[in-house]
Amino acid sequence: MAETKFRNSRALALVLAGAFGLAALPALAQGLDSEGAIDTIIGSDVKTEEKSAVDESERVIAAIEATMDNAQLVRRAFNIDEVEIVFLPEVGPEVDAGDSGITEKREEFADQIVELQQSIEGSAIFYHAVDSRQILVRDIVAIEFANENRTATIFVAGAAPEGATSSTGGEDETAPAEADTNAAD
């Protein structure tokens, strides 16, 4: 019986070594638990605040009506300068009063809102912006784009989670005053 020799055994060994080396690279990647990794992915300021649904109803309803277009913008976005997250405490399953038609619009556009939420889940920028603020994607009501699609406002049903309404970029105004008082003692 004739023996078969592989002529390029050295090349095969190099290819296999390279494949095993590349397989180990994900283990060296930085995890998403790191604040620096999330900031790099989002790449923009994320501001959060709580506003009255009655005061914001016109903007929210317009954003709900534009949900399909905005879902496409979410899918295509790769660079956003600013993300603003607005919590609407008067909107949500536990709340019955005074949201100026937002709940009815949500029901009317329910399928499109689900598609928007899926687009946000599929976008590293938007998903990590909301996830880093302890927001469930299912609570997102609408998104509004402004400034040539460089600024996004995400409207969220319900009150802000504890500690989520602190705006990035701003400092707590009471801290320096307390420090000055303690320094005088």
pLDDT digits (tens, 9 = 90+) for 20-35: 555 554 443 334 444 5
* E strands present in 89-185: 140-146, 151-157
Give the residue with greater pLDDT, 157 vs 182.
157
Give the residue with greater pLDDT, 50 vs 17.
50
* E strands present in 15-77: 45-50
Query: What percentage of the chain reaches a pLDDT higher than 90?
Result: 41
Give the lowest-confidence range in 1-5, 67-71, 175-179: 175-179
Looking at residues 89-101, what average pLDDT do you find? Answer: 72
- Taking a C-beta distance cutoff of 8 angstroms, is the pair 87, 95 a contact? no
DSSP state of 50: E
Measured CA to CA, the distance from residue 114 to residue 140 in angstroms comes to: 9
For the purposes of burial, counting CB atoms within 10 Å of the CB of 35, is it exposed (0-12), middle (13-18) or buried (19 or more)? exposed
Written as six digits, the tokens of 97 are: 């009063």
Give the residue with greater pLDDT, 128 vs 99.
128
CA distances from 136 to 89, 98, 101, 129, 154 (A): 15, 23, 22, 11, 12
Measured CA to CA, the distance from residue 115 to residue 143 in angstroms comes to: 12
Label residue 132 by pLDDT band (50, 70, 90): confident
